[in-house]
Amino acid sequence: MLASSLWHRSALVGAADSDGWQCQCAWHAWNPNPCSMCQTFSDRLSTTDLSPILFLATITGATPFFITTISSVSFEFTRWDRRSMVPTLTNALLRSHAYGSLYQATFLPNSKAPPMTTRRSFLKTAAATAASCSLPRWFLDEQSVAAPIEAGDRPAVALVGCGGMGRGDARSAARFGRIVAVCDVDDRQIGEAKKLWPDADAVKDFRRVMDRKDIQIVVCGTVDHWHTLVSLAALRSGKDVYCEKPLTLTVEEGQHLVRAVRDTKQILQTGSQQRSDRNFRLACELVRNGRIGKISHVSVWLPHGRREGPFRTAVSPDGFDWNFWQGPTPQVDYVPERTHVTFRYWWDYSGGTMTDWGAHHNDIALWGLGLERSGPVAVEAKPLVEMIPGGFTAFSEYSVQYTYANGVTHSCHSTTANAWNGSVLDPKGQQHGVKFEGSDGWIWVTRGNIAASDPEFLTTPLPSDAVRLYESHDHMGNLFDCVKSRQAPVCEAEIGHRSATVCHLGVISLRLGRKLQWDPDTERFRGDDEANHWLRREMRQPWSLNSV
C-alpha cells in the first residue's frame, strides 16, 4: 500500500552517498545534509529495485517526510550494486530524521539499470524527470536529442582539486572521457579520488598535470582562489577546461581568463550548471520574450552563509601541503576551518554564499535580463549581521541592490530558510531562487521548480520567431560536445566572468559599506579609487597571473 502510493507519486525520499550509488551532486560525498542541488538524472530503477528502499522507509518511520518534501532532486547511478544501496539508504533515512530536512528524488519505472549511460538515455530520462517538475509539454516536446558518444572517442581528463565537488565533476566527466590523473595538495583527498579511479596518476603539483601532452581536458574543482591559476595553466598548455564556479576570486582574474580563452582558442566551461537546467532556460526565454510584460525587477535569494568562530590554530595534518593550498593568498597559521569545504566563508579565499550561490542565481538573473556580457551600473549593499571576531570573514547575511542602465533593478538577499548548502531549514520561509517581475506578472524559478503568477505564462508555447537561448541539457556533456565541435559552451569564460563579477561587486560594496557606480564596459568603478583597488588582489610570491 505504502509502496503503491509512493510509486504512483513517482517520488521517493532518499539521500545519496559516495558508496554504491552516487548522486550527481558531489556535495553528498562529504555532506551529511540532504540538499536540493542536483539536476541531472541518468538511470532507471524498477519497482523491484525500489522495494528495499520502501521497506526501509517503513521500518524507519520515514513516511511522513515523503509527503512533506518540497524540493526536487534527481540522481545519477554510476554503479549498480543493490547490496551497497541498502546500508547507504538506511544511513540516508536515519540522517534525514536527524537533520529534519529532505529532498525528493524522481525515479522512472521499469527496466534493469544499464551500467553505462549514453547521451540518448540520459536525455530521455532527463526529459521525463523534468516533466515531473511541471515543465510544460510544448517545451519538452521541442527538446533536441544529442548524438550518443562513440566508443573510442573518450578524451583523457585530469582532475585538479579532489574534494567533494571535484570528484563529482570528474564522475560526470567520466561518462564521456577517461580520468587519467588526479591532483590535490592533500594526500587524503587524492586517496578518495584514487578509490574511484585507481589507475589514474596521483599528482600533488598541478603544473605536472599541465606537462602531460596526452591530457586534453582539465576539470578544476579546487577552492576558489586557485580557479584562475589552474585554468590559465591548462589553457596555456593547450587543454580545455571545466572550471568550477565562481570562476574567479577577483574581477581582474576574470579579465585575464577571458583573454586567455580568446588567445589560446581553448574551450572553457564554467561550472554554473543551472545554465543546463531546463527550468532556468525556460524562465529566461519567457522573460526575454516579454511573457511577463516589461521587466522591472529581479529578486534573487541565496542561502545564508555561516557565522561561526572564533577558531583556533592547529598543526596542519600530515600529507596536507598548507602552504601550497594557500598559494597566492596571504600566509597565515593553519586553522582547520579555513580549508576543506568551509574555505568559502573566508574572504581571503572566497566571498561567502554571495559568490558561492550568487554564481548560480545571479548568473540566471543576468541570463534572463539579456545582460550576461554586461553588468549593472550601480551596486549598494549592506551586511545584516556582524561577523564574529576571529571567525569566518565573509558576510553571512546581506542585502544587495543592483541597478542596470535600462532602469531594471536587481536585489540579492540572503535567506535563512535555507542552510548554506541549499537544504531547507524552514519550509514556510523564503526559499533560494530567482523571481523575475514585470508589468504583467512574475516568473519564479529555482532548482526543480518553476512557477508563474499566471499558469498560462508557462503553458502557452513561444511563437516560432521567439528569441531562444543556448540549449544544453547536460553541463559536462556540453563541454565534451564543444571540445569536439570547438564551439563555445553554454557557460563560456566571459559569461562565467560576468556572473562572478556581479557577485564580486556585491562583496566589494558590502566591505566598503557604500553605494558604488560601475561601468560595465570598462569594468571599473566610476571615480572611486578605493573600490577599484579591490578589483584585484596582490598574489603572494611566487604566484602571479603570469607564473603559470
Ligand X SMILES: NC(=O)c1ccc[n+]([C@@H]2O[C@H](COP(=O)([O-])OP(=O)(O)OC[C@H]3O[C@@H](n4cnc5c(N)ncnc54)[C@H](O)[C@@H]3O)[C@@H](O)[C@H]2O)c1
Please list, in sequence order, all residues whose beta carbon lies within 8 angstroms of the beta carbon of residue 134, skipping any fewer than 6 positions away: 449, 450, 451, 458
- Could you give the angle at which helices 493-512 and 358-369 cross, rounded to 10 degrees? 110
Would you call 67 exposed, middle or buried from its count of C-beta atoms within 10 A (0-12, 13-18, 19+)? exposed
- Residue 160 lies near ligand X (rule: CB under 6 A): yes
> CB 30 → ligand X: shortest distance, Å?
6
What are 134's three cell numbers?
511541471
Residue type for position 330? P
Residue 335, interface with ligand X (CB under 6 A)?
no
User: In the range 351-380, which residues lie near ligand X by CB under 6 A?
Assistant: 356
Q: Which stretch binds ligand X (CB under 6 A): 149-157, 181-189, 299-307, 412-420?
A: 181-189
For residue 216, give the nearest of 472, 482, 526, 31 by alpha carbon.
Answer: 482
Helix (H, G, I), strand (E, B) or coil at 524: strand
Shortest distance in whole angstroms from residue 519 CB to ligand X: 27
* Binding map of ligand X across residues 201-230, x = CB under 6 A, - = no contact: -----x--------------xxxx-x----
Contact 209, 218 (CB under 8 A): yes
Site size for ligand X (CB under 6 A): 31
328 binds ligand X (CB under 6 A): no
How far, in Å, are 20, 117, 238, 338 from residue 83 at the CA level? 8, 21, 43, 37
Q: Examine residue 343 and tell whether it contacts ligand X (CB under 6 A).
A: yes
Among all chains, which residue has been given the C-alpha cell 533593478? 409
Q: Which amino acid is at 490?
A: V
**Min. distance of Cβ 110 from ligand X in angstroms?**
30
Quote the least distance from Cβ 357 to ligand X, whole Å. 9
- Of 14, 20, 155, 163, which lies in the binding site for ligand X, with binding defined by CB under 6 A? 163
Q: Which residue lies nearer to ligand X by CB, 37 or 286?
A: 37
Strand locations in 111-238 (E) = 156-160, 178-183, 201-203, 217-220
273 touching ligand X, by CB under 6 A: yes
Task: Fill in the amino acid letter for 315.
Answer: V
Helices 493-512, 251-264: axis angle to 10 degrees equals: 170
Q: Which of positions 185-204 make contact with ligand X (CB under 6 A)?
A: 185-186, 189
Instruction: Determine, following the binding rule CB under 6 A, whether residue 184 of this chain makes contact with ligand X.
Output: yes
244 lies in the site for ligand X, by CB under 6 A: yes
Task: Assess 507 for contact with ligand X (CB under 6 A).
Answer: no
Contact 388, 305 (CB under 8 A): no
- Interface with ligand X, residue 279, by CB under 6 A: no
- Quote the least distance from Cβ 491 to ligand X, whole Å: 10
| Binding test (CB under 6 A) with ligand X, winner from 161, 375, 433, 477 | 161
**C-alpha distances out from residue 415 to 369, 396, 494, Å:** 23, 10, 28
Nearer Cβ to ligand X (43/192): 192
One symbol per residue from 121 to 150: x for binding ligand X (CB under 6 A), - otherwise; what is it?
A: ------------------------------
**Residues at the site binding ligand X, with contacts judged by CB under 6 A:** 27, 37, 160-166, 183-186, 189, 206, 221-224, 226, 244-245, 271, 273, 324-325, 327, 340-341, 343, 356
